Amino acid sequence: MAIETQLEPADWVPGSIPLREFNTQSSTPRRKDGPRRAPRTATGDDPWFTGGRSMRRSDANLFHVRHTNVGQMVSALFDADRWEPIDDLDRELRDVTYHRAVDSGTVRIAFDRPDVRNAFRPGTVDELYDALDHAKRQTDVGCILLTGNGPSSKDGGWAFCSGGDQTVRGEDGYQYEGDEEGEAQSASEDASGQGPRARASEQGRLHILEVQRLIRHIPKVVVAVVPGWAVGGGHSLHVVCDLTLASEDHAKFLQTDPDVASYDAGFGSAYLAKQIGQKKAREVFFLGKTYDAEEAVEMGMVNEAVPHEELEATALEWGERINAKSPTAMRMLKYAFNMTDDGMVGQQVFAGEATRLGYMTDEAKEGRDAFVEGRDPDFDDFPWHY
């Protein structure tokens, strides 16, 4: 039985979600007649509000999120026995949670703004970048799970990420929200020795693009674990990840950039076309259809869809499989896959890692030692392989 609720515009996520009514019989959204700011009626079949089905009594359990022993809010799917918090960053995390698996080299980084569909503001991006950079530097970590905590305490909805928070979008980018957020971020930067970032009311930020580049070049396998909506800039984030695992019950994929006069002209669009083809990628952006997990798998945008309650356990299994493989082989394979699309930047990254491998050989050691000792190198013992 469907339920009906009256929702005012203020109830909508501040990410890039336009006011529209979804036609649940197809992937094509159907716009309402009348002014865009009018209240809208949503039924329990509306996937944005209830994950594509009517609310059941058992859904009440989804509203109760658990906490770690350091007080961080964690997803209802989160198994506290399998994770431990990482608390050695130079900043306090407010919009992101960061954990490490207790029995494998896998970390979990999650958006933690479920009541706004995990939309990101500048402070969110700062925290996300720092957590990813920290994971990058852990030599015993081979897999990064990027996900979104949930569900929303307002309506039980799930989200991976709904993109940039439109309520803090300024003329030149996204603005820090008042002195509290700006000063908190600047203090964290001062403590880390990296210098202050832009304070509130100063320059706008678009540094989610820096996060995209970091994911692309990080020498680990990054898996997008999508429990619900991946929209706008959140859609682009899942595209740039190496793999995507989605909830077959709640995951929805929607690109709304043109609706809010935004566009990801890089990985979010051009790289998406590499994954699913030019015609389909243009459909995603130009028509703004909503796709469920099964459709996303069929078009090649998602690797696998699993039952919602199995999502994070499956993600951990993927992490264990990845960590069982050769770190060098996995790193070089990632950069080899990237190189054909990343031009000279991709070639430079791949070549740099090839140089590192070369440094590990006896031949390279002979060249170094000869220089340090002031003699001619003797390479006679090293074959010209073919």
Q: How do residues 291-324 score in pLDDT, each as one tens digit? A: 999 999 999 999 999 999 999 999 999 999 999 9
Max avg pLDDT among 44-58, 198-212, 246-260, 263-277: 246-260
Walk me through the domains of the chain, giving residue ranges and CATH numbers. Answer: 83-165+202-324 (3.90.226.10), 334-373 (1.10.12.10)
Supply the pLDDT for residue 281.
95
pLDDT tens digits, one per residue of 349-382: 887 888 888 888 999 899 999 999 999 999 999 8
Looking only at the bridges linking them, the beta strands covering 252-254 and 229-231 are parallel
Rounded mean pLDDT of the chain? 79
Tell me the average pLDDT across 133-150.
Answer: 97
Predicted local confidence at residue 17, as pLDDT? 52
Mean pLDDT on 278-294: 96
CA angle 111, 112, 115 (to 5 degrees): 115
DSSP 308: G
pLDDT, position 51 = 33
pLDDT in tens, 177-207: 754 554 555 444 444 444 334 454 467 787 8
Confidence at 346, pLDDT banded by 50, 70, 90: confident
Please tell me the predicted confidence (pLDDT) of residue 258: 84
Q: Is the bond preceding 151 in cis, omega lying within 30 degrees of 0? A: yes
Res 10: pLDDT: 39
Instruction: Give me the DSSP letters along 1-68.
Output: ---EEEE-GGGS-SSS--S-EE-TTSSSEEPPSS-TTS-EEEETT-HHHHTTS---GGGGGGG--EE-
In single-letter form, the type of residue at position 142 comes to: G
**Residue 49's pLDDT band (boundaries 50, 70, 90)?**
very low
- Known catalytic residues are 164, 174, 233, 257, 262, 359
Strand partners for 67: 73
Distance between CA atoms of residues 68 and 306, nearest Å: 26
What Rg do the C-alpha atoms of the chain give, in angstroms?
Answer: 23
Residue 230 has pLDDT above 90, yes or no: yes
Q: How confident is the model at residue 264 (pLDDT cuts 50, 70, 90)?
A: confident
Alpha carbon 187 to its chain's center:
25
Q: What are the backbone dihedrals phi and psi of residue 271, each rounded to the nearest 5 degrees, phi first? A: -75, -30
Task: Locate 313 and state its tokens.
Answer: 């356990």
Checking if the pLDDT of 100 tops 80, the result is yes
How far is the C-alpha of 236 from the C-alpha of 255, rounded, in Å? Answer: 8
Q: In the prediction, which pLDDT does 205 show? A: 80
